[in-house]
Amino acid sequence: MATTSSQAIPGTAAASKGIDRTHRRVIFASSLGTMFEWYDFYLYGSLAAIIGKQFFAGVNETTAFIFALLAFAAGFAVRPFGALIFGRLGDLAGRKHTFLITIVLMGVATALVGVLPTYESIGVAAPVILITLRLLQGLAVGGEYGGAATYIAEHAPPGRRAYYTSWIQITATGGMILSLVIILFCRWRLGEAFEAWGWRIPFLLSIILLCISVYIRLQLEESPIFQEMRVHGKLSKAPVRDSIGRWSNLKLVLLALFGAMAGQAVVGYIALVYMNLFLTQTLKVDPATSNLLVAGALAAAAPFYMLCGRIADRIGRKPQVTLGCVIAALTMFPIFQGLTHFANPAIETAQATAP
């Protein structure tokens, strides 16, 4: 979403030494909605193996799992379009209204997965509807994450934008942890029934989270920068064209997309999503154990988002993003080798003897 560069915001002088009450409310409301939205989005990835059995039952188990992952990937494929659609809407109609649309879209799509008939009940219509819902989820997340970051950044004092927006990633991680905790609780209470029908419960609980999030976001006001731009008639009438219709701007978009975002997205989703699947499907770790390990890793990483936000405000974004990608590139393979060694030594031995 388009914003102005660094205009003064009322009350930011006091906030320069700490987050004041007004800014805490803004961060809380924006980030909490992001938490609920990522809870919804992460459920599918965590339950991909079960979803494959339920909705792609017309093929063997391995193929069904691959189809389930492809449906998960469909949500990622449309996220850029969600960013364009809702980013444009946010620049024209305001951040608050866009927030409400994305959270409702995400919550409804997730709840519908919880009541969707399986392949055995309605045949090929089941995976078709599932993929459609995944596409809606992807559109919603594409608009939500950038919108929340823009909204908080427009409230942030100069020199503290990275720290303020780091809270979005913390609560997004919180949403992922919440989804894993609820899955673990349902597995524990329901036992074998979880794979039969209990997997629907975490999806249906998104209705409660949706109501809470909508109520909180209704209390928000438009950001001061957006209000000032609207009062002075400085809002873009064609934000998409202004952003990517001219090479000078498009070049910056492409640099940010492939230079900054692509690398960290690969690292992030390998660590956040694929790790769980690798443990359960490849290394055959018990799902409950895998969920506990991933939830613990997410919780341990959360405080570092704030720390890195503070550092980025001091040294800049570019050095930190570059360093993070380099560290990930150097450590990713050793981490997976270590997981294989400790979780399933037999696979490590098989790889060594018959590569």
Of 11-20, 224-233, 268-277, the poorest mean pLDDT is in 11-20
Give dist(CA 239, CA 89) in Å, integer: 9
Q: What is the pLDDT of residue 193?
A: 93
Give dist(CA 9, CA 146) in Å, integer: 20
Q: What is the pLDDT of residue 9?
A: 39
Query: What percent of the chain is predicted at pLDDT more than 70?
Result: 87
pLDDT band, residue 336 (cuts 50/70/90): very high
Give dist(CA 77, CA 32) in Å, integer: 25
- Distance of alpha carbon 296 from its chain centroid, rounded? 18
Q: Please report where in the chains the tokens 């609980």 appear, as a residue.
A: 205
- The fold adopted by the segment(s) 21-232 is Growth Hormone; Chain: A; (1.20.1250)
User: What is the tens place of the pLDDT at every residue in 185-212?
Assistant: 999 999 889 999 999 999 999 899 888 8
Give dist(CA 148, CA 175) in Å, integer: 15
Give dist(CA 99, CA 220) in Å, integer: 10
All residues at 6 or more sequence positions from 270 whose CB lies less than 8 Å from its CB, including other chains = 332
Give dist(CA 301, CA 122) in Å, integer: 42
What stretches of 135-278 adopt beta strand conformation (E)?
Answer: none
The domain locations on the chain are: 21-232, 248-355
How is residue 181 written in tokens?
């905790």
